[in-house]
Structure 1
Amino acid sequence: MTKFLLAVHVLAAVVAVGPVTVAASMFPPAARRALASPDDPRAVGTVELLHRICRVYAVVGVVVPVFGFATASDMGVLGSAWLIVSIALTALAALVLVALVLPRQGALVEGGGTREATVRLAMFTGLFNLLWATVTILMIVRPGSTTGA
């Protein structure tokens, strides 16, 4: 059962978190292009599409920690320091996405933004991506792991 839960957890992370990180990273430059050419329907459409991808996959991404907890419970590692840190960083990444990235994207989609707003958004998006990269590294390295990896 552990292998199944772990496989679903990893697949969910790749399928759900991957698109959010890519689309969120693409959003600030796309928003700058749309701000520079507000009459270009293609530029505006790109920004709207990237925001929609971020919103939808953020919701789908809830599956990742659900299966993560199930996997950790099945493996008996819920009290491990690396997992507790990973959980905290995952919660922080979710908070950054929901409180800082998505609302700023939404404001830019609605036309209420400036070039400076895209720079600030890029900073928050970078923080979001850095948090996920750190969680991924912790999941791979797992300090104190007995697997020898």
Structure 2
Amino acid sequence: MRRSTALMAAAALLFLVSSLSVAYMSAVAYGERSDEVETRRMFRDWMAKNKKTYSSIDEEEHRYAVFKENRHRFDKQNAAADAAGVLIHLGLNVFADLTDEELRSLHTGCAHGGIEAHHQNLAADNKYSLDWRNIFRWGFPGGRGQAVSR
């Protein structure tokens, strides 16, 4: 009789542990699903507010993925800002469906590679150059710069 009671207790404990783990996993999965649903709703609202349309379903899904990534990045940075007591927060604006690279190239006129500049020494070709260091080498011209009392 004792053996059957111990077996029943072990079975009940095993059932309880497995039930709790299933409940925990479903809560985690529900949290991920509800976050996905919330992000999808936010994207639809954002598209309507900013009058965004895309040429294909694939383009829209790509823009949604970028939007979702930006939202999560902003949420993390805003949480860190809150913890540090910083008052500046990032939000979803008209550019929320653009990657950093796309935004940079759109507003700076170049991609992330930077600007390559070519400089030419114009002074070497100019035979009529003037060296301003020699103008005031011996003082101010015309006696200026000296106090004259009369």
For normalisation by structure 2, the TM-score amounts to 0.25
Q: Which has the higher contact order (CA 8 A, sep 6+)?
A: 1
